[in-house]
A and B are shown apart, each in its own frame.
Chain A
Amino acid sequence: MRRILGPALFTLALVTAAPARADVVPPEVTACSGKEIGAACSQPDSVAGACAKGTCSKLDYSRWDRDAMSSPPTMQYECVKCVAGTPQTTAPASGGGCALVARRAGPWALAAVPALVLAVLGRRRGRR
């Protein structure tokens, strides 16, 4: 039982810890991850909304002069985020279909490699 004490304490710490507030991708951006502009989404406070182009900000570590500044400067960037409003269905942009297929097929293609390894090993065991 003492062997499990360490992992148990770690889990307890995870359970009781508060989530880090500065998750770099804002939750309203995460809500639109992989979605088209105009698609329905849910804001962090569970209010229904639609994905729309907007401006987000993040820390710019590449321009951080640590001798002169206590923290990195902030940079603005274009993003797709969940804003309150009615969803609209829009046609995917040119090439979006292929990109979407690639995005969806990618993990399956990756999963095929270890599956192939296991299949070879399984056949080898079967022959023994």
Chain B
Amino acid sequence: MISGPPLLVAPAVALDRARAAVLSALGRSLAPWFRDRERRVAWTGTLSVAFALVLTLVAPGALLAWGPLVLGVPHLLADGRYLVIRRGLLARPWVLALVLGPAAATWFGGGAAVGLLALVGAGLSARASTRARCTVVALGVLAALAAGKLGRTADVALAHLHNLVAMALWLGWRARRGHAHLAVVAAFVGASAAILSGVLDPIAAGALLSSERVNELIPQLSVGNDPVLAVRMTLFFAFAQSVHYGVWLRLIPDEDRERTAPRPFARSLEALARDVSWPVVSLVALLAAALLAWGAVDAHAARDGYLRLASFHGPMELGLFLLLLVEKP
């Protein structure tokens, strides 16, 4: 039994018991699918893509409203844990100031134009060749200028892009010895193509148009004059956002562990507390619970509140993605 706040530890222990019961019922034949990381990541990733697609088809409005409320705060913690803490960036105050500073400025209404200055910060603080650093800085300046010119279009583009950055980060997280992970990529690309080409319109578009607050959701997540394309962009966002939560909460944690064997939920919670401390885990759990309670009263207002809180993480992910890219040995 691990030590920690009982309210947090008890659900993890209960999940472990449930998983042990399911595994013993399934028998030993399935053990290799759980034991081998390559296979485990491939099937859990593909399953999460399939689950996201099904929810996008049948309940895109609920997915857009409740997805961030249920998984948003935990995924922000995973962002900080895997991109900042486990990368040792807490010991590099210049990275924190130059990348997280512009990203946090989005809380005060800067939008993508200010947030993308995180790329400039990444270039300035990267431990890389002068050429690579200058390229990232130039990239950041151009991106911020472009965002300033494009206005809301850039905000929407950044929101879509950050969902894809999570996939790119996961793909490059570690060297791989097989091709099993490509099943997840194929599932994601195939589902994305199906949504954006309109093949799934007969099912998904009707479900989206009958959603509550559709007149606010579609303009928030799409650009352009074409309403058909606007609907598909909104559906694609609902799908990609869900996959991006799965990447941060399931795939990257699994890839980041030194041991390849699966870990009990209670041990994962203990490892999280070791990385970020119990007070932070408790604070985040409290915030997640408060957001869910707010959602029970007014789901859309709670989602808007979460989006204000999370506005920093898109530019932060993009900036730290480039930092990792140029610092990669």
Contacts and interface: CB of A to CB of B under 8 A. Distances in A.
B23 interface: no
B206 A4 contact: no
A22 interface: yes
B223 interface: yes
A122 B224 CA distance: 44
Contacts, number: 122
B135 A1 contact: yes
B103 to A, nearest CB: 10
A128 to B, nearest CB: 11
Interface stretch (B241-249, B251-259, B278-286): B278-286
Given A3-B326, A11-B146, A66-B209, A120 B280 contact: yes
Contacts of B52: none
Interface residues of A, number: 42
Interface in A88-120: 106-107, 110-111, 113-114, 116-118, 120
Contacts of A58: 215, 219
A117 B80 contact: yes
B184 interface: no
Interface stretch (A13-21, A35-43, A48-56, A79-87): A13-21
The residue among A1, A3, A11, A71 with the most chain B CB atoms within 10 A of its own CB is: A11
Contact of A15 (B109, B145, B231, B322): B145
B180 interface: no
A111 B107 contact: yes
A110 B139 contact: no
Interface string A48-84: 0000000000111110101000011001000000000
B90 A11 contact: no
B237 interface: no
A19 B227 contact: no
A56 B238 CA distance: 28
Contacts of A71: 227-228
B133 to A, nearest CB: 11
A113 B209 contact: no
Contact of A19 (B80, B149, B161): B149
Interface of B: 80, 85, 90-91, 96, 104, 107-109, 131-132, 135-136, 139, 142-143, 145-147, 149-154, 157, 161, 205-206, 209-210, 214-215, 218-219, 223-225, 227-228, 231, 276-277, 279-280, 283-284, 287, 305, 308-309, 312, 322, 325-326, 328
14 contacts: A1-B135, A4-B326, A20-B152, A23-B151, A62-B210, A72-B227, A107-B107, A110-B309, A111-B107, A114-B80, A117-B284, A120-B283, A121-B280, A125-B90
